């Protein structure tokens, strides 16, 4: 079968011919429908993430997938069921407590591999296998957009951690700042804008489809070149919640200053080392005097995938159509990983339901 992957030492992905896998006991065979592309894929291509699967000289890309069950192989599924796979799997050493508890998203990096990212093949192939417990059912009508369930689940988890951190007192956030107008940031704008006023920070000039998207959701675009995150309270208003999806460490740290008292910042970006000066005294003082919180969040688990399935169903279809600016056939995937100002979200199409 065909797969989109990257070979050891290569700098560009290729269309590979790889063996079609046979399911073992407890695994279902899934025929791939669509796989989303995001910034992590680009980082994987650039070699910024983890390794290749043990003993392999290529890595199949893709971690945002939706497919249909081709061979249930004794699992709870029926042929034709629409399913979405989670991303983390036990490492070569086998099962550990995080997986046993259904909390693989809380595993430290050495206790997990990530399909399509680090140490395990992804889903950009005509078929893929998955253990039953890592497959989430999705309603058939969500099949065309089901690849958005993974990124939405990332936000579900970050928000869950953020809300939990504020659960000891009355906290009803009505303002949020989303840092980053990539597809994850924009999905989060769409999610949050249903319940609160949202500012979304980016570095784009008008006309721009991401700015159009933010405004169509009722959000406010903030040009961070003119208004850095710490100036949001002065230029607009303090926010109860910050969602950081840039990986730009200076913004992650100074987002504390954008928060209203008792606010919380959820950090999701993964930067490399970068030394710079901060007013550490002010940082700690605002943390303490205003009872603020900061949570880091990576990956997501089955529970958040299930929540994301509901969220996806609730989000307006036309908004999602504006978000998915490009669907490319897997045989002509060249360019799918390239970014440009008129691309928000790309999906690679492998099949029809």
Contact status, residue 201 vs residue 222, Cβ threshold 8 Å: yes
Q: Counting contacts by CB under 8 A, is residue 274 touching a copy of itself?
A: yes
Query: What's the rounded Cα separation, in Å, for the pair 236 and 259?
Result: 12
Query: What's the rounded Cα separation, in Å, for the pair 70 and 30?
Result: 5
Angle at 35 between CA 30 and CA 40, to 5 degrees: 125
Contact status, residue 82 vs residue 68, Cβ threshold 8 Å: yes
49, 56, 290, 326: which one binds a copy of itself (CB under 8 A)? 290
The CB-of-71 to a copy of itself minimum distance in angstroms stands at 33
Shorter beta-carbon distance to a copy of itself: residue 19 or 169 = 169
Q: Counting contacts by CB under 8 A, is residue 279 touching a copy of itself?
A: yes
The CB-of-201 to a copy of itself minimum distance in angstroms stands at 16
Region from 55-63, 166-174, 204-212, 228-236 binding a copy of itself, contact rule CB under 8 A: 166-174
Q: Counting contacts by CB under 8 A, is residue 25 touching a copy of itself?
A: no
Rg (CA), the chain: 20
Contact status, residue 144 vs residue 65, Cβ threshold 8 Å: no
The CB-of-313 to a copy of itself minimum distance in angstroms stands at 23
Q: Which of residues 230-269 bind a copy of itself (CB under 8 A)?
A: 247, 249-250, 252-253, 261-262, 267-269
Bridge partners, residue 127, by sequence: 31
- Contacts for 64 with CB less than 8 Å, ≥ 6 apart: 35, 36, 37, 38, 123, 147, 148, 149, 150, 151
Shorter beta-carbon distance to a copy of itself: residue 169 or 226 = 169
The CB-of-334 to a copy of itself minimum distance in angstroms stands at 31
The CB-of-261 to a copy of itself minimum distance in angstroms stands at 4
Angle at 98 between CA 93 and CA 102, to 5 degrees: 120
- In 3D, which of 225, 226, 277 has the Cα closest to residue 254? 277
Q: Counting contacts by CB under 8 A, is residue 18 touching a copy of itself?
A: no
Centre a 10 Å sphere on the Cβ of residue 131 and count the other Cβ atoms it contains.
18
**Tokens read off for 97:** 């407590």
Q: Counting contacts by CB under 8 A, is residue 161 touching a copy of itself?
A: yes
The CB-of-241 to a copy of itself minimum distance in angstroms stands at 14
Site string for a copy of itself, 69-108 (x = CB under 8 A): --------------------------------x-x-xxxx
Q: Which of residues 313-342 bind a copy of itself (CB under 8 A)?
A: none
Query: What's the rounded Cα separation, in Å, for the pair 171 and 52?
Result: 44
Shorter beta-carbon distance to a copy of itself: residue 95 or 169 = 169
Q: Which residues bind a copy of itself (CB under 8 A)?
A: 101, 103, 105-109, 160-161, 164-170, 247, 249-250, 252-253, 261-262, 267-298
């Amino acid at each position: 079968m065909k797969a989109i992957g990257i070979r050891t030492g290569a700098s560009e992905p290729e269309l590979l011919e790889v063996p079609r896998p046979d399911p073992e006991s407890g695994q279902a065979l899934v025929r791939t429908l669509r796989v989303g592309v995001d910034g992590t894929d680009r980082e994987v291509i650039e070699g910024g993430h983890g390794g290749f699967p043990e003993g392999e000289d290529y890595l199949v890309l893709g971690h945002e997938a939706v497919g249909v069950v081709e061979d249930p192989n004794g699992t709870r599924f029926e042929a034709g069921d629409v399913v979405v796979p989670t991303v983390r799997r036990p490492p070569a050493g086998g099962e550990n407590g995080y997986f046993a508890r259904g909390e693989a998203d809380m595993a430290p990096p050495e206790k997990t591999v990530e399909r399509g990212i680090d140490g395990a093949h992804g889903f950009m192939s005509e078929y893929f296998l998955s253990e039953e417990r890592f497959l989430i059912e999705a309603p058939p009508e969500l099949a065309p957009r089901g690849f958005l369930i993974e990124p939405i689940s990332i936000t579900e988890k970050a928000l869950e951690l953020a809300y939990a951190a504020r659960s000891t007192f009355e906290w009803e956030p009505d303002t949020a700042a989303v840092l980053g107008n990539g597809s994850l940031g924009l999905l989060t704008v769409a999610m949050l804008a249903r319940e609160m006023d949202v500012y979304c920070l980016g570095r784009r000039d008008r006309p721009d489809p991401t700015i159009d998207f933010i405004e169509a959701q009722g959000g406010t675009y903030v040009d961070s070149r003119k208004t850095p995150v710490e100036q949001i309270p002065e230029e607009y208003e303090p926010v109860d919640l910050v969602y950081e999806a840039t990986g730009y460490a200076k913004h992650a740290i100074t987002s504390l200053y954008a928060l209203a008292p008792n606010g919380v910042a959820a950090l999701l970006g993964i930067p490399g080392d970068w030394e710079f000066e901060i007013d550490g005294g002010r940082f700690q003082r605002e943390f303490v005097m205003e009872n603020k919180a900061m949570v880091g969040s990576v990956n997501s688990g089955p529970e958040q995938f299930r929540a994301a399935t509901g969220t996806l169903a609730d989000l307006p279809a036309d908004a999602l159509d504006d978000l998915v600016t490009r669907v490319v056939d897997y045989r002509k995937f060249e360019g799918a990983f390239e970014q440009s100002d008129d691309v928000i979200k790309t999906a690679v199409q492998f099949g029809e339901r």
